[in-house]
Structure formats: structure tokens, C-alpha cells
Structure 1
Amino acid sequence: MNAEPFTSESYAEGARERAWQEVLGGFGLQALGARSGTPSHARALSRLSALGVRLGTLSADAQSLRPLAGRGGLPLLLMPIETTLVLTLSGETQIVPAGHVVLAPRAGDWQVQFQRSLRALVLSVPAEAFRGRKVAPLAACPPRVFAPEGLADVLARTVQSSAGALDRLGEAEWETVAQSAAELLLALTAELATTRADSSSSRAALLQRLYATVERSIGREDLTIAEVARAEGISDRYLQKLFEGTGESFSHYVRERRLQRAWHDLANPAELAVPISEVAYRYGFADSAHFSRLFRERFGLPPRELRRREAERHDHEAPSSGQRGWPQQALVQLRARQTKAEPDSRRTRVLERTPPPDIPEEVPTHHYLPINAQHVHWGYFSRSLQPLLEIASGDIVTVETLTQHASDDPERMIIGDPGAESVFHWTTTQKAVDRRGAGPMDASVFGRGAGEGFGVHICTGPIAVHGAQPGDVLEVHILDIEPRPSRHPAHAGRVYGSSVAAWWGFHYSEFLSDPHPRETVTIYEIITDTPEPHARAVHAYRWEPQTDPAGVRHALYDYPGVPVRPGTVTLQQGVLEGVRIPLRPHFGVIAVAPREAELVDSVPPAYFGGNLDNWRLGKGATVYLPVSVPGALLSVGDPHAVQGDGELSGTAIECSMTGTFRVTLHKKAETAGTLLADLTYPLIETPEDWVLTGFSHPNYLAEFGADGQSEVYSKSSLDLAMRDAFRKVRRFLMTTRGLSEDEAIALMSAAVDFGITQVVDGNWGVHAILSKRLFPDRN
């Protein structure tokens, strides 16, 4: 994850305090405010590791900070720089000079006051940062100040130098630095606990030293409880009692750590050549068969299967520096295989191994991914989904997609269509697509049925791209879009779509006429066989409560996919009479898998793409997406016949379509000096323009953590989205066109069109359109 900059100047005056509190909340802190009101100035640069370690530099006007209740993990590290702070605990104060380190628990009655200005480094480390390794309960210790000497000085220097390089460290470098800082903080925290006189802190410190001893000796088969106890000068019985107090025995803990360490090595592509038996011996297992049995019992699959799965997600076949392209004999064999497969070109190639990305462009493989219940994930993205296809860079893939709104008119958009019937099949005894949305399977707490979580889009995929790794860029070029015709005998060959004015629309609290509020569904026919393709309304109806096959009553249009039963709604004829809406066919969702969470709501877009809802993503357009997980895991869905900027009422005219895409992988090392260098957001290219996508929260998953998928809905604003779009255009012009900041700002005001992409997707969007004609000599 790239460093996250924050500046209060990006927000309107009334929103600055809230935005600053959100930044501090990421560290488990909250501000008590400046001495004379809310802070008028605040800046931050922070970065979050894959395991939750957050490091940042904070600067603001004078104010006080205290812990934010409800956060867990190691004590926070705060280090004042260029100024002093006052630490207050139980009414007693202590002045802390610049360069000293404060370790303070995540809860308690303490605060730090910056009397002149806030300038500090903050390190936040959750227990999860240690990959399953036990961390003794040390966070209850009171705050303590460490002078810059010994281990505290090593940690302080590490934190300070790392914070200074946050925006320059590569992903792998940052992850290494974050883990090192976490280990140092853990060691210093144990020292903090050792100085306490109470027995609970002494036990916690002793446990931490015992855990460290086990980690150092984990590879020894003959490691015994007596040896570890002797190292700390305690009896075997007391050591066992300490471990039993944590809920497990010493032997169980050692075995668990050995298995976890082996798991990480087997999943590491750099260890692919190491025999499984050697990994077993490395962690104290003398019998490889015994190790395999324990491994399967613990993780649900044998070591060889884990290694195979992980190997398929990494690129182990990069050409040597002395080779350019494949040998001619290999190309002949490749063409022969493709020729044999030609009669069955529409067959789905499930997890097919394809050649490396250096195959000549004149022989791209064409894949076809039809729609059915096994080929979709509904309402969420996930880094853990198994890919349906693996393609090579430059390959072409045709993907069938369905609108999640087909159930608004099942007769026209589902019945008679085997693919649609497969996906939407739902009876009292069976639901073909069980999980529909992020969140728990039992979503009754949200007023929905089993599987009806957050997120709504039917996404076809995912598709793995051979060799894609975090830091690369995926180019998805839309070659063609075809509407999906009805298969119902009464409507065969005609195309239909649906638009919903729903409770999540921008309009919902602004009705003039009764009844209000209300929700309305409008069904359109999509006319394509005319010189001016267009959509025209067929009929509309007000949403009436529907009871789904599982018996759950949906008073509102709360989840697309609930079948509308005939006779339960009153059709209104003659709506939008005489109106013809010109078509803008495009895909609302084109996404790669995000890395921050296991299940991610499909509605809010972000750096990984997702629900972009920009009508410019039509035939002939390209979107560039930063890759954040191995294989990229590309998914496509939410097809639209037409949409206006803003998508005000809640949806576009949603219409099932089939798209054909050319997918190209740009390796990180090859993007330096290009338009794609350090790309951190979805970038759209059309033949005429560059379209830069701004969001209220460019990476809400990192910004808000585990609660981001709900918090982003309440925190979005057009101000934030506009600021983000402005910053991206400024950066684009300065880094790719060589303009100064003043030149970039002047050009933006004169020649860049900013528009509202959408105000209904949780994470509101503003796009900036930069015409290629501005740079006729540099396109």
C-alpha cells in the first residue's frame, strides 16, 4: 500500500475537525482540540502494512491527544519531533523532550498535550502483525517515557528513518520495515512490563520472553519444556502453568508455531525449490509423513497442495536475461495446440496454464467465459476467490455478464435464458448463488436473508493474469460490447433493462409529490437496430413489499435479485412517452481484487476499480488498474445500457451484456517514465481523452480499517472527491507531462473538465477529463 497523505486544506473549514479525527482514529487516537478551537492546520503522511502496522508523521496546531476506546494491540509509540509534549496520567504531568519515546496503552486515563504545535511520529501495531505468534497481554502497562538510549534509541531511529521514507519505499521494502518496527516495539514493550512491580505485568513479561525463546529454538526437534524453563530460571511446572493460563499447553503452542512457520515457507514462491521434507526438518519435524498428517489436520489441505496453489499465483517463469521471446519450436507447438482447440473456442478454460507474456501479439489466445451460477460472485470482491481462467498478457477474453436487476422483470430478462435462470434460481429449498454480498452468511441482523449481505453486483470471474504481481498495472481494453437479448418466447431477440429510483438515491429526501418517500422501477427496451440506438420506457411500477422464497419480507428495494412476483405490483403504462435516451453501453464494474480484506462490498469503488459507474468505459475505451494481489483476479459486471453523470436516482439503465476485452499486463519495472508509473488509482483512456477517477476516500479499506465498508457510506462528500480528483490531475500533469505545479493548476482551470461520476455508490466519485489534444506532440 502506498503512503497516504492528508492535509486539512483539502476540506472545507467545517469539515476539517472531523477529517483530522478520522486520520488520528487510524492510529487509535483522538484529538481534544486546539487551545483556541479546532485545529486550523493539520497534515499527516501514514502507511499501513498488510498485517495492520501503521506508521505516520503528524503535524498540526497545538492540541491534546488521548486513546480512542475499543482499539487493541501493543502500546502506541509516540515520539515528539522538533518540539516537546506533556504527558498527563492521573493528574500528574511529565515533560517529554523531542526524540524521547512514549509508550502508552491503547486505553486508560492518559493524554499528551502539544502546547505549541503537534509534531510527532506514531507507530501502531496490532497483535495480528505477528502472524499467529502469541503476544503476551502487555498493553495494560501505564505510559512510560524512554530516553534515546539502548533499545529505545534503536527503535526511535528505525521509526524516524522509516517515516522519512514512507512515500519512497517499495511494497516489499515497506512490509519488511513495518515488521521490523513491530518486533522492536514488542521487545521494548516487554521491557516496559518487566519494570512493573505487580504480578500480572511480571507474568506477561515472562511469557513474552518464553515466546521469544521458543521462536529462536523452533527448529530444534529436541526442544523441551525443561530447557526453556531453565533459560528463565523457573520450574517446568511453573512454565506449564503459565502456558495453561493462556488456554493451551506448552507442547501445543510449540507445535502450532512450527506448523505456522512451515505454512509461510511453503507459501513463499522463493522457497519453491526447497523440498517439503526439508521445510519439515527446518521446524523440528523428524518424520515428513507425520508432518504432512499434522499439516492437513491443521490447515485442511496437504503441504503439496498448498504449495501448488500458491505457485500458480506467482510468476516463476520469467525469461532469462539472455533470451528474447520463445524459441521458434515452442511457438510452433503453441500454434498447433491453439489450432486443435479452435472448434471449441467458446469453451471455458478453467485454470488453464497459458504461455508467458512474451508471446507475439499476432497469436493471442481467445478465451470465453459464459454466465452461470458457478462463474459469478455476487456482491463482493475477494482476494481468496479461485480464478476461473488464467490468461496471459495480451490475451483476449469474452465475458458474459448479467445485470443484478434482471429480477425486476423476470419474464423479459430471466425466463428462457439458461445462464440467467442458473444464476437467479431461488426456491424455498435451493438458492443457486448462496453468498450474495460481503459480510456474514446469516444477515438476518441486517433484515435480510441468509447470504444477503452488503454489495449487489453480479460479477463474472475472477480471471487470473499470468505473472501479475502487486505493483504491476493491468490494462483492460474493451474491444466490443453486445447486449444480451431476451430468450422468452414472447420477447425473443429483444433487449430489456431496468432502472430503479431507490432509497439510496440522491433524490430520496427531496420528493415534491405524494407519496413520499417511494421507490420506482422503470423497465426499458433497448433498441440497437437503428441509426441512433436508444432506450425507451416500456412501463414502470412502484415498489411494493416482496417476500423472497426464503420467507424474508423486503419492504424496501434493499437487495437486487429479489424476484418480483407477478400481480404484486401495478404497472404504469405510457411513462416517458416520446422520450428516446441515446445509448452509452458500458460496464459499471471492472475490478481487480483488493488486498486489505477477505470480503469487500462491491458497491464502493476505490483504487482497485470496482463500481466505477463511468459511462466512458464503453467500446474502444481502456481502464488501467493497479494490481494488489498475485494474479490480479479481474472481474467484470454491472453492465449498463446508458447512464448520466451522477447516476442520481440510484442506478443506470441496467442491462445484461457480453464484453470482449484485451488484457495486457504492465510489469512495474517497465512502467518507469511512462503514464503508468506509480499508478495508484483507476485511469481511463478513450481515443480522445484521459479520464482520472477521484473518490471521497481513494482507499477506504485502509483508511477506515475493518469498519471501512460501512463507514465510507456515511463519510463521503463531493468536496473530498473533488479534492482527490484535483490532486490526481495535478500529479498526472506534473509527473507525466513535466509541468510545474503552477502550470498544472493554470491548465486545470482552463482546460480540464471535472464532472460528478456518481453520488450513490457509498464512495462518491468525481472524474477529471483531460483532452489528449492539449499535448499533440506527447500522446
Structure 2
Amino acid sequence: MSFRPFTSESYAQDDRPEAWRDVLAAVGLQPATAHSFYDGHATASHRHAVGVALTRMAAGAQSVGPLPQANEDLPIALMPLEDGMVLKSAGGHRIVPVGHLVLLPRSGDWSIVFQRDMRAIVLSVTTSALHGRLSGKPRLGEPRVVPPNGFADVFARLLDATARTLDNLSDAEWNAVAQSLVDLLLTLAHQLAASTSDAGSSATQAALLHRICQTIERRLDDPDLVPARVAQAEGISERYLQKLFETVGDNFTHYVRERRLQRAWADLSNPVEAHRSISEIAYAYGFGDSAHFSRAFRHRFGLPPREFRQQEAERATLQHGVAGQRGWPQEALAQLRTHQSVEARSNVSRSDAEEPRAAGRRHHHLPVEASRIHWGYFSRSLSPQIEITSGDTITIETLTQHASDAPDMMIAGDAGAESVFGWTREKKNVDRRGAGPMDASVFGRGAGEGFGVHICTGPVAVKDAQPGDVLEVRILDIVPRASRSPNHAGRVFGSSVAAWWGYHYNEFLGGPKPREIVTIYEIFDDPEEPHARALYSYRWEPQTDPFGVVHATYDYPGVPVAPATVKRRHAVLDGIRIPLRPHFGVIAVAPREVDFVDSVPPSYFGGNLDNWRLGKGATVYLPVSVPGALLSVGDSHATQGDGELSGTAIECSMTGTFEVILHKKADLAGQAFADLSYPLIETETDWVLTGFSHPNYLAEFGAQGQSEVYAKSSLDLAMKDAFRKMRRFLMNVKGLSEDEAIALMSAAVDFGVTQVVDGNWGVHAILSKRLFQDAT
């Protein structure tokens, strides 16, 4: 097959620049300067045929320029997939909007600057693709930016559709599509080469018009943006201003109106902006009257703004399958930026149960209560609950988000649990539950929409932690949280739900189909045989929360279960004792890419790893990506099998004691966790490497990441990632050759399915330390 994927996870940090240079070279590009190598997380899907190469790439901020190729004149086609791309050429600097095509000559003094992230599609066609045909090779002296109109729109749509399905096309299908792309590119290039520069205007006029358009772009929010004011600011007459627009077949008023509507359209379909009202968006682009904006939007796009927004949400929901939609709808969900929307902000505390320890180290205690947790999301903007120093220990209390499945056992009488789960008609103590919008405008479930479900205690700031460092978290102890109810005092309970997001959900044999089943367990922390026994189960029936919202499925965390709806089935798993594997499903540092991140899909920052090996005596190493690291812990489990097939483990509130050690970037060389870009688990006997379908889905998919990861995960991708990471570990940490690493993996490394229910599916690779006890 001609399909070739690339991921930076295959390479050690020092090898990434050269590997990324090869990716760029395949489509005729190279780093623009010697200092613009990118060595962070990057992915690329690449397909080639004779003389044709198509790549969809995602990486961090960087600059690229042409890689001169002798006797090649056909231009390179590039299309950005996110905002933030600037074209630098002799004609000046130009911002290239999403969806526009850029045709780039094979040589010349130009560069493309990706200011935030590089997310683009690149098509490179050489003369070999012409198969001897006469094409009158078009020669472009300067880069040309082509809006998606007419023929260019046809080309752009095919380019985007092909790039999205590269890995699914057969070789025959790809060859047919590739030839179509060649023909379309040639036709478009001929059109541009035959046209006069900038549609008849001089280079000076083009530069002036570009500067005017930039001025307009910066002032779209000004309702008094009129030709006279812009002309005055540029030192030209209003008549000359209008003449400049006439040279490109437009006029000032139409251009401004079109740009405002296009920007509003983009915001209404952008998940980053979904928390803003339609009126806010209209005012932001100079529309002083909501009714006028609604009429103008409908006239331009065929739907009023509100219906358009709803249509986009429904379309994305249908596209991604499950009606309940555990993850973010692709274009309807907010990544809220404002700090004011984060609940339960506390000042940094250093006085909470601190006790002096040897050598100046301290022990801290972080109790669980509503003001000390964040529910269903991670955020780089959360204020830390406490700051600790490297080498300190800390006891962290956690609550399971499933305590409301049996509130009489797991909440009643427990002041901490009652604080967190408290919910009456008048007030919900922890309102936000998930990373979604606060106004529940997507599905109406409740604040946060349940896009993310885990109760996380913290975050804990680690003094002097900076991006590039590694945080070592040693789990010293795990103690189950006993019931404080007078009727059940001292006993420990847990819950497991066979839910709609489970792997089994569409595979029932008997009726009713489908169904969700809650099973309540008692946990016996017997020193000789710790185990869990099922007490009873019940079928989930529609629950009406205290705010009056009906939850037909288990779609929002912490909904109080009405006792009258619980029809207990006893003698469940009768006589079966399930061995305990106490562990924390969630141990995370804050991710850097966006502000509000769904707690369900795990990634490089840790999060919802759901690996039972993260128990007492284990250690997890996490790459730090924000100042202070911002460590959070939650999702405690009494036990879990690999796969977590039905949707949950036996969820049980627990308290953990941890030792936290900071390893500075400058001191990582020679360590097993050097060059770390993923959660690495160490036990007494093994190294456990965590692979994911998408190792950094936030970087790979950009603004749509928290939706795309649910739609595109697979065990095949997770297995490939685990293999790549283990190969890298064996080569760069253990010093094996690639052939030796592959031989050892097949003979002695155990690969297992971690989980298939967390959006970003997981496969772990277990490497026994005993293999190297005699190695030199």
C-alpha cells in the first residue's frame, strides 16, 4: 500500500527534527530556517503515487519554505485547516483563512508561518505525474492565495475529502483520485498563470488593498466602520478606496458585510465559541441589532443563526453515532476560556494539615469537599488547592462519581460526600459537571453537559515545576472510604454500571434491548483475601434530577437515584468473589493545548488511564506541560479487568497517599523517563507503557479534538502506538537495535487492552525488568 502514517511517538526527542524534515520533504517543503525545526508532537497521513504526494499534517507552531527541486515548475498546493497561517513573500505578509488554497512556486523567497499550530493539507505534483503529456507547465512567480469560489472550491473540497480518507482508499481508488487532483491542480494553476497580477491592479495597489483589508479585519467590531474613516486612516481619498475594491470586482460595503457574516458563521460553528450567545457574536462583528443580524445571516446562508447552530450540533451528533453522545459534539461544544466560569476556585493553601518531615519535607492532607474538587474536566486555569515541594508526601481524599447510585450507602452521613453531591431544587453544590457549556445548550443535561464525568480532587501545584520536566508520582497507600451512614457504618461499597457507552451495548442477546444495569458491591478489605461481592443490581430507569431534567439514560454524573425507581435484583453473581485491585483510574497533570478538557479520554498528560496496575507500590511518570504541573487524582476503583468492557470498573471512593518527586528537564538524561511524551508506569517488576489510539488527540485534531477522538479511535491504532513506544523505549533507554527490539517484543513483551470505553482507546505494553538483570 502507498499509505504511510507518521507519528513523532516513534522517535526520540533528538531524532524528531530529522524525521519531521523527511515528512516535509515528501511534499516539497523544508523548515524555513535552521532554527525552525519542530521537535514536539506531530502526526502526518501521507499517500503517494507516481509524481503525486498528498499529506495531511498536524504539528506545532513553525515556519516552512520551499525545498528547491531541479527542473520542477508545477506549484505546490497547500490548504490550512485552522486559523493562524501567514504567507510571507515579496508582496508582504498575508493571513490565509481556513479553506483558502495557496499555490506555491517550487522556489523563491517565500515562507509559510503557522503561528499557533500547523494543521494543513499539502499536495505536491511533479512532472512525473504527467506521464509525458504536454501541459504547458504553468509558472507562478509568486505564491497565490485562492478563495474557495467556483472551480477552486471544487478542487479544495476534493482535496479535503481525499485527505480525510487517505487510510481507507485502496491503491486503485487512490490512483484514480490522485490523477483527478493532478488535473484539477493543473487547470487552476493555468488559470492563475494566465491572469494578470492581482486581477489587473499594480503591485503597489495590491499591497495597499491588502493593508486596507487587514485594517478592516481588525475593526470588524466597530459599528461605525465606514469608507471615509478607513480612507482617512490610510491617507487616501474615499473615491480611490472604492476604486481599489473595484479592481477585484467588489466594493467596500459588500466586503465588510461579507467578512462580518463569514466571521459570525465561523464562530457559530466553532466549539471554542459555543458558550457565547448569538447576540454576543453579532455585536462582536459590528451588528448593533440582533434582528438585523438574523435577517442578514439568513439571507446569506439560508438559515437563521439559531437554527444554523442547532443544525450543526445535530449533524455532528448523527455523524458520531451514539445518541447519548458521551463526547463533545464536533461543532457545538465550548472550550471555555474565561476564568470566571471555573467553579470552586480556592486560594493556594500551605497550611492545611502540613506536618514537618525529615530533611525539610512535609506531609500534606487534601480532604474532599465541594470547594476542593473539579468535576469532569481538567484545566490549566484552575487555581491550585495546595502547593507542595518535590519530595513531599500528600494524602488525597477522592470520591467516586457513582456514589449517587446508592446514596444511602455511599453519601448519607459523609460530610465530604454530601458537600460534593448536594443538589436540591434551589442549588447544586458543584454545578459544572463536565467540560461543556454552563447553560447546557447542547443536549440540556446540565451545566457542563456531562462531557467528562470524574470527580477529581485538586489540583496540586508542585513548586518549580515547568514544561519539559517530569513528575514522578509514587502511590504509597490506598485506603477505601468507609460508609458514614448509621445504617452501614464501617462498611465499604462500590458501584459498576453496564452503560450505553460500554463495548457490549449493541450486542445484547436477550431483552429488553438496549438496557443499562447498575450493580452495587460490598468491598471486603480482608488482609488475606481482599475481594468484592455483589449485593444487588437494578435496571436504570429514567431519573428526574432536582432541576427537573429527565435522564432517560446514565448521561449525567451524580444524578440522585430515586429509591422508588430501584427494583433490586438479589443473588447477583452469587457465590463469586472478585479479587480487589485498588487503584486510581485518573492521575493527571493539566494539559497545555486548551483550557477545558473532557476528563474521559486519556492522553499524554495521564488522565483517565484506567489501568489497574496504578495501585499501591506503583509509580507513574507524567510529562509536565504547564507551570506547577497541576496534579489531580480521582476515579478510584476497587477493581477492574483489562478492557473495562461494560463502561466502568467497580467504582469506590478511596483515599491515597502519594510521594511526589519533580525531575527537572536538565537532569533527565540517562533516566528511563527521559524523552517522555506519555504516561509511564513502573511497578516493582515491570515497566508498563501506555499506548492510545491518538497519543495527543488535542494536538492532532486541534479545535475538534474532543469530538474527533471519540469518532476515530480503534484498537488497531492503540496497538500501533504501544508498539512504537515500546520500540522507542527499548532502543533509546535499553540500547537495543531496531531489529533486537522487535525480536524481544514478539518473544517477551505482553500487550494488553487497557480500556475500550474512554473515547481514546488504550493498549498497554508490559516489559519485565527481569529480562535485563544480566544485561551489560
Q: TM-score, normalised by structure 2?
A: 0.65
Q: Out of 684-693 and 196-205, give the one that drifted further.
A: 196-205
Name which of 549, 552, 557 aligns with 1:555: 552
Q: 1:414 to 1:721 in 2, by over 3 A?
A: same
Question: Per-residue deviation at 1:499?
Answer: 0.5
Q: 1:234 to 1:681 in 2, by over 3 A?
A: same
Question: Per-residue deviation at 1:56?
Answer: 6.6
SS in 2 for 1:508: coil
* In 2, Cα distance between equivalents of 1:45 and 1:188: 19
Question: What residue in structure 2 maps to residue 196 of structure 1?
Answer: 198
Question: Per-residue deviation at 1:385?
Answer: 1.2
Alpha-carbon RMSD: 4.8
* In 1, Cα distance between equivalents of 2:761 and 2:578: 25
**Alignment-mate amino acid for residue 742 of structure 1:** D
Question: What residue in structure 2 maps to residue 564 of structure 1?
Answer: 561
Question: Per-residue deviation at 1:206?
Answer: 2.8
Identity percentage over the alignment? 63
Contact 1:194/1:205 (CA < 8 Å) preserved in 2? no
* In 1, Cα distance between equivalents of 2:203 and 2:412: 67
Map of 1:354-503 to 2, 5 A cutoff? 362-503=359-500
Question: Per-residue deviation at 1:690?
Answer: 0.4
**Alignment-mate amino acid for residue 353 of structure 2:** S
**Alignment-mate amino acid for residue 383 of structure 2:** Q
Q: 1:660 to 1:145 in 2, by over 3 A?
A: closer
Question: What residue in structure 2 maps to residue 275 of structure 1?
Answer: none
Map of 1:486-525 to 2, 5 A cutoff? 486-525=483-522
* In 2, Cα distance between equivalents of 1:766 and 1:696: 8
Q: 1:711 to 1:200 in 2, by over 3 A?
A: farther
* In 2, Cα distance between equivalents of 1:45 and 1:413: 59
Question: What residue in structure 1 maps to residue 275 of structure 2?
Answer: none
Q: Does 1:146 align with 2:148?
A: no
Contact 2:67/2:107 (CA < 8 Å) preserved in 1? no
Question: What residue in structure 2 maps to residue 278 of structure 1?
Answer: none
Q: Does 1:126 align with 2:83?
A: yes
Question: Per-residue deviation at 1:197?
Answer: 2.3
Question: What residue in structure 1 maps to residue 288 of structure 2?
Answer: none
What do the CA deviations read for 1:119-151 (whole angstroms, capped 9, x no partner)? xxxx76623889xxx9767779775443523x3
Q: Does 1:61 align with 2:44?
A: no
Question: Per-residue deviation at 1:459?
Answer: 0.6
Contact 2:82/2:98 (CA < 8 Å) preserved in 1? no
What do the CA deviations read for 1:486-522 (whole angstroms, capped 9, x no partner)? 1110001111100111111111122222222211111
Map of 1:536-615 to 2, 5 A cutoff? 536-615=533-612
**Alignment-mate amino acid for residue 553 of structure 1:** V
Q: 1:541 to 1:200 in 2, by over 3 A?
A: farther
**Alignment-mate amino acid for residue 413 of structure 2:** G
Q: Give 5+ residue unaligned stretches, structure 1.
A: 1-5, 11-26, 28-40, 84-96, 107-122, 164-185, 216-224, 248-298, 302-308, 314-336, 348-358
Q: 1:385 to 1:517 in 2, by over 3 A?
A: same
Question: What residue in structure 1 maps to residue 643 of structure 2?
Answer: 646
SS in 1 for 2:719: helix
* In 2, Cα distance between equivalents of 1:81 and 1:778: 47
* In 2, Cα distance between equivalents of 1:560 and 1:46: 47
Contact 1:538/1:575 (CA < 8 Å) preserved in 2? yes
Contact 2:749/2:766 (CA < 8 Å) preserved in 1? yes
SS in 1 for 2:670: coil
Question: What residue in structure 2 maps to residue 295 of structure 1?
Answer: none
Question: What residue in structure 2 maps to residue 657 of structure 1?
Answer: 654
Q: Does 1:626 align with 2:583?
A: no
Question: What residue in structure 2 maps to residue 731 of structure 1?
Answer: 728
Q: 1:57 to 1:762 in 2, by over 3 A?
A: closer
Q: 1:383 to 1:45 in 2, by over 3 A?
A: farther
* In 2, Cα distance between equivalents of 1:157 and 1:491: 63
Q: 1:231 to 1:103 in 2, by over 3 A?
A: farther
* In 2, Cα distance between equivalents of 1:581 and 1:103: 59
**Alignment-mate amino acid for residue 411 of structure 1:** D
Question: What residue in structure 1 maps to residue 665 of structure 2?
Answer: 668
Question: What residue in structure 1 maps to residue 709 of structure 2?
Answer: 712
SS in 1 for 2:735: coil
Q: TM-score, normalised by structure 1?
A: 0.64
Question: What residue in structure 1 maps to residue 276 of structure 2?
Answer: none
SS in 1 for 2:742: helix
What do the CA deviations read for 1:455-504 (whole angstroms, capped 9, x no partner)? 11001111111121211111111111111111110001111100111111
Contact 1:682/1:693 (CA < 8 Å) preserved in 2? yes
Contact 1:44/1:57 (CA < 8 Å) preserved in 2? no
Q: Give 5+ residue unaligned stretches, structure 2.
A: 8-22, 88-92, 120-141, 147-191, 218-226, 243-250, 258-336, 340-344
Q: Out of 637-646 and 530-539, give the one that drifted further.
A: 530-539
* In 2, Cα distance between equivalents of 1:510 and 1:244: 56
* In 1, Cα distance between equivalents of 2:37 and 2:502: 35
Map of 1:693-712 to 2, 5 A cutoff? 693-712=690-709
SS in 1 for 2:740: helix
Contact 2:590/2:605 (CA < 8 Å) preserved in 1? yes
SS in 2 for 1:362: helix
Contact 1:505/1:760 (CA < 8 Å) preserved in 2? yes
Q: 1:143 to 1:497 in 2, by over 3 A?
A: closer
**Alignment-mate amino acid for residue 61 of structure 1:** A
Name which of 334, 337, 353 aligns with 1:345: 353
Question: What residue in structure 2 maps to residue 35 of structure 1?
Answer: none
Question: What residue in structure 1 maps to residue 523 of structure 2?
Answer: 526
Contact 1:729/1:768 (CA < 8 Å) preserved in 2? yes
Q: 1:493 to 1:634 in 2, by over 3 A?
A: same
**Alignment-mate amino acid for residue 603 of structure 1:** V
**Alignment-mate amino acid for residue 402 of structure 1:** L
Contact 1:425/1:432 (CA < 8 Å) preserved in 2? yes
Question: Per-residue deviation at 1:64?
Answer: 6.8
* In 2, Cα distance between equivalents of 1:720 and 1:46: 29
Question: What residue in structure 2 maps to residue 293 of structure 1?
Answer: none
* In 1, Cα distance between equivalents of 2:719 and 2:29: 19
Question: Per-residue deviation at 1:207?
Answer: 5.5
Map of 1:684-695 to 2, 5 A cutoff? 684-695=681-692
Q: 1:476 to 1:203 in 2, by over 3 A?
A: farther
Question: Per-residue deviation at 1:601?
Answer: 0.8
Contact 2:395/2:656 (CA < 8 Å) preserved in 1? yes
Question: Per-residue deviation at 1:45?
Answer: 12
* In 1, Cα distance between equivalents of 2:213 and 2:113: 26
SS in 1 for 2:359: coil
**Alignment-mate amino acid for residue 236 of structure 2:** I
* In 2, Cα distance between equivalents of 1:244 and 1:664: 60
* In 1, Cα distance between equivalents of 2:622 and 2:43: 26
Question: Per-residue deviation at 1:423?
Answer: 0.6
Map of 1:214-229 to 2, 5 A cutoff? none
